[in-house]
Amino acid sequence: DERVCRALGRVLSLQGYRVRTFTSARDYLAERDRFTATCIAAVVPMPELDGLALHDAEHALGGDTPTVFITASGDIATTVRAMKAGAADFLEKPFDDEAFLAAVASAVARSEHSLDERRSLAELWRHLQRLTPREAEVCGLVVSGRLNKQIAAAIGTTEKTVKVHRARVMQKMGVASLAQLVRIVDRALRESGTRTILTHASAPLSRPRALAIIESVLKREPRDSGDM
């Protein structure tokens, strides 16, 4: 409803938010790559794609923008579906401006925290993308707690060559100690379900091949007990 879009847009603009309005989910999806949304306010019942389908499509495209769902129905089934979909909030018409602004403010705060996390992970992925397959293998063996001579035996080379690979891993990953390397590799591995990252003003980043190599090494070479 264009009138509702204008009214809610005006409420948000008066609070200093930059607002874009769309009268269909497809219109939003067609434009989404041209700006960075920190909150989506979507009516649940819409023609073609409803608010829940819009939320699913947004996440399928690699985004995780929090969504505030708006509905007039108020039925339990719709509420449950929205919450299972990861709704930031769920507003039933009629609602006042204060409730709407509170829901948006909470969603924006959540989005900004998520964006900081994505930026951090994206930076880590960029470091990992610089590793060659052999360096990724050495990285996995180093993180598993293996000594240089053990790594040399595992990959069929000399300790001197391992030291060179190890130094390059540390330099490319931007770390100065084994403890730092372990922490950032663990951070990357915790996000094993993430395949693509969308960050502010950035093209999509695909999961580095080096991570799959490191995971394979760690499955083959369990970490020593007593490792940090």
Q: What residue type is assigned to position 127 of the chain?
A: H
Tens digit of pLDDT for each residue in 155-206? 999 999 999 999 999 999 999 999 999 999 999 998 766 666 765 555 677 8
Buried b (16+ CB within 10 A) or exposed e, 113-126: eebeebeebbebbe
Enclosing H/E stretch for 128: helix 97-129
Angle at 69 between CA 32 and CA 65, to 5 degrees: 35
CA-to-CA dists, residue 166 to 64, 68, 162, 223, angstroms: 36, 47, 6, 17
pLDDT, tens digit, 9 for 90 and up, residues 109-155: 988 887 788 888 889 999 999 999 999 999 999 999 999 999 999 99
DSSP string of 156-184, one letter each residue? TS-HHHHHHHHHHHHHHHT-SSHHHHHHH
Peptide bond preceding 222: is omega within 30 degrees of 0, i.e. cis?
no
More confident residue, 54 or 168: 168
What single-letter DSSP state applies at residue 34?
A: G
Q: Does the structure show a pLDDT above 80 at 51?
A: yes
- pLDDT at residue 118, as a whole number: 80
Residue linked to tokens 């003003």:
201
